[in-house]
Amino acid sequence: MATDRLLADEMLGRLARYLRMLGCDTVYARGWSDEEIVRRAREEARIVLTRDRQLAARADRAVRVLAPDLPGQLRQVVEQVPGVRPDVAFVRCTLCNGPLRPEEPGTPAPAGSTGPGRPPPGTRVFVCGACGHQYWEGSHTADVRRHLAEWIAPGST
Ligand SMILES: [Zn+2]
């Protein structure tokens, strides 16, 4: 999947998590100076997402996020950044942006992780290669898909 790489500034943490759910490689610039944001975006060829007009003007590539609310912000990024598709993809860890990989079949569940918080048997599980967090299709992803359908309805622009 070839989506653009993104870098969200400190004010856009919820947007960054959602974009990771869509499979976008999204760095969250928590506590970074504007200089660091501009430099890292250039080094890693990332599009800067920011509400700050001056920062947007300094970056090589930027989307100035105008909407105050998450639905409007997501809609704007989907419209303006090629390759961002409004569907859940198990590609990126929403916590740390690490790459997800399918869990090996037969991997025993970690101790203390059985019960309601575990996927039903036979569910495909994805694991973050960086922090080890696990992901699978469930009620949470169903909620996210429902939100996306409401927020980014075709022809709603
Ligand atoms: Zn992770």
pLDDT given for residue 68 in this prediction: 95
Residue 70, token pair as written in the block? 């998450």
pLDDT in tens, 111-140: 555 556 778 888 899 999 999 999 999 989
What are the structural domain ranges in the chain? 5-80, 100-151
Give the span between the Cα atoms of 12 and 70, in whole angstroms: 9
Q: How far is the CA of 129 from the centre of ligand 1 (A)?
A: 7
CA of 94 to the centre of ligand 1 (A): 7
Tens of pLDDT, residues 136-152: 999 899 999 999 999 98
From the CA of 92, how far away is ligand 1's center (Å)? 8
How many Å from the N-terminal Cα to the C-terminal Cα in the chain?
25
User: 45-56 pLDDT, tens per residue?
Assistant: 999 999 999 999
Place of tokens 């993809």: 89
| Contact between 4 and 81 (Cβ < 8 Å) | yes
